């Protein structure tokens, strides 16, 4: 029961992190500054946890000679994923910002498993897993397309954000999700090499923070915090802490229930968190009321992910 609660909580926390970081972007004026703040806080927190558990932040320099170069790319891919979510949130809303990357994660996850990329265990694409992927895609279509169509048929104003080039933003979400799946596989191999999941997470966050420092110095040599019209709430700074807790939650969850069930539990939390944010406009986000077709689409996606991860 504790494992299920942990999985649901960290799942709910992830869309909240995106909303928080999106709010932080309003004050700092840049998605990269918001990502840097998040990564820096997460790195410090994970450094403390790593010192407590492993008593050291260092690793053998032989890894640079004995391991492939891609083993250090997890942090960079994490930067792309986090920054993309910050950009997507005001364009697509909480639910679509969650489901589009999930679609990308599923697609890339199946590719990685089928070909054993990034030194991961090979898991062939079966009819059952293929059907699960189709269900995920149908769920996305149900949420994105049918919700708008039904609203128009009933003469209602669709709650889908009215931004130009929405499909391009959705595509960015899918690509970001694919990068996230690659990051997961890379960090999984890194944790095996280091024999420490926590230290692998710390290194990933550290690399991401370094990448963002370089980007920020190039784009914003003078860093200034802007005061938004509705003030700067204290909680806009804690996105990185939530991200670090998400990593630690997975560290606890996977050994307890297995990777497949852990993914499903966290996914349910993700969907619940995104629905709560959209329904009530939490954390100063735009309110997008829940519709029955949106619930149906999410249930179809959860069923698809369950088939992929558990069979």
**Cα dihedral across residues 269, 270, 273, 279: positive or negative:** negative
Res 158: pLDDT: 46
What is the C-alpha to C-alpha distance for residues 301 and 137, in angstroms, rounded to an integer? 7
Q: Is residue 215 exposed (0-12), middle (13-18) or buried (19+ Cβ within 10 Å)?
A: middle
pLDDT tens-digit readout, 229-274: 667 888 999 999 999 998 888 878 877 877 677 888 888 999 899 9
Res 206: pLDDT: 95
Res 44: pLDDT: 96
Res 157: pLDDT: 45
Query: How is residue 57 written in tokens?
Result: 């932040």
Per-residue burial over 273-304, b if 16 or more Cβ lie within 10 Å, else e, is bbbbbbeeebbbbeebebbebbeebbebbbbb
Query: How is residue 200 written in tokens?
Result: 């692998």
CB–CB of 117/68 below 8 Å? no
Other beta carbons within 10 angstroms of residue 128's beta carbon come to 11
Mark the ranges of the chain whose per-residue pLDDT is less than 70.
146-164, 220-230, 259
Spatial neighbors of 64 by CB under 8 A, at least 6 apart, are none
Q: What is the dihedral of CA 133, 137, 142, 146, to 10 degrees?
A: -150
Q: What predicted TM-score, i.e. pTM, was given to this entire model?
A: 0.86
Please state the three-class secondary structure of the chain as a single string.
CHHHHHHHHHHHHHHHHHHHHHHHHHHHCCHHHHHHHHHHHHHHHHHHHHHHHHCCCCCCCCHHHHCCHHHHCHHHHHHHHHHHHHHHHHHHHHHHHHHHHHHHHHHHHHHHHHHCHHHCCCCCCCHHHHHHHHHHHHHHHHHHHHHHHHHHHCCCCCCCCCCCCHHHHHHHHHHHHHHHHHHHHHHHHHHHHHCCHHHHHHHHHHHHHHHHHHHHHHHCCCCCCCCCCCCCCHHHHCHHHHHHHHHHHHHHHHHHHCHHHHHHHHHHHHHHHHHHHHHHCHHHCCCCCCCHHHHHHHHHHHHHHHHHHHC
């Amino acid at each position: 029961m504790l494992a299920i609660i942990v999985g649901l909580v960290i799942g709910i926390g992830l869309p909240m992190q995106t909303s928080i970081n999106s709010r932080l972007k309003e004050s700092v004026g840049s998605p990269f500054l918001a990502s840097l703040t998040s990564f820096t806080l997460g790195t410090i927190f994970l450094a403390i946890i790593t010192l407590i558990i492993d008593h050291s932040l260092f690793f053998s320099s032989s890894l640079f000679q004995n391991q492939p170069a891609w083993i250090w790319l997890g942090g960079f891919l994490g930067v792309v994923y986090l920054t993309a979510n910050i950009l997507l949130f005001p364009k697509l809303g909480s639910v679509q910002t969650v489901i589009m990357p999930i679609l990308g994660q599923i697609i890339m996850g199946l590719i990685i498993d089928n070909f054993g990329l990034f030194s991961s265990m090979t898991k062939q694409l079966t009819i059952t897993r293929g059907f699960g992927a189709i269900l995920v895609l149908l769920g996305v279509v149900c949420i994105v397309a049918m919700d708008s169509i039904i609203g128009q048929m009933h003469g209602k104003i669709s709650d889908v954000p009215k931004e130009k080039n929405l499909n391009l933003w959705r595509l960015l979400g899918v690509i970001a999700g694919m990068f996230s799946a690659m990051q997961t596989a890379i960090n999984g191999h890194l944790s095996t090499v280091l024999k420490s999941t926590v230290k692998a997470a710390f290194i990933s966050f550290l690399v991401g923070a370094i990448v963002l420092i370089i980007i920020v110095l190039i784009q914003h040599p003078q860093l200034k915090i802007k005061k938004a019209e509705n003030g700067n709430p204290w909680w806009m700074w804690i996105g990185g802490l939530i991200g670090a807790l998400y990593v630690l939650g997975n560290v606890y969850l996977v050994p307890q229930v297995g990777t497949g069930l852990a993914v499903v539990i966290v996914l349910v939390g993700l969907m619940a968190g995104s629905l709560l944010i959209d329904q009530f406009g939490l954390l100063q986000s735009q309110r997008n009321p829940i519709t029955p077709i949106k619930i149906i689409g999410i249930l179809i996606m959860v069923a698809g992910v369950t088939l992929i991860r558990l069979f």
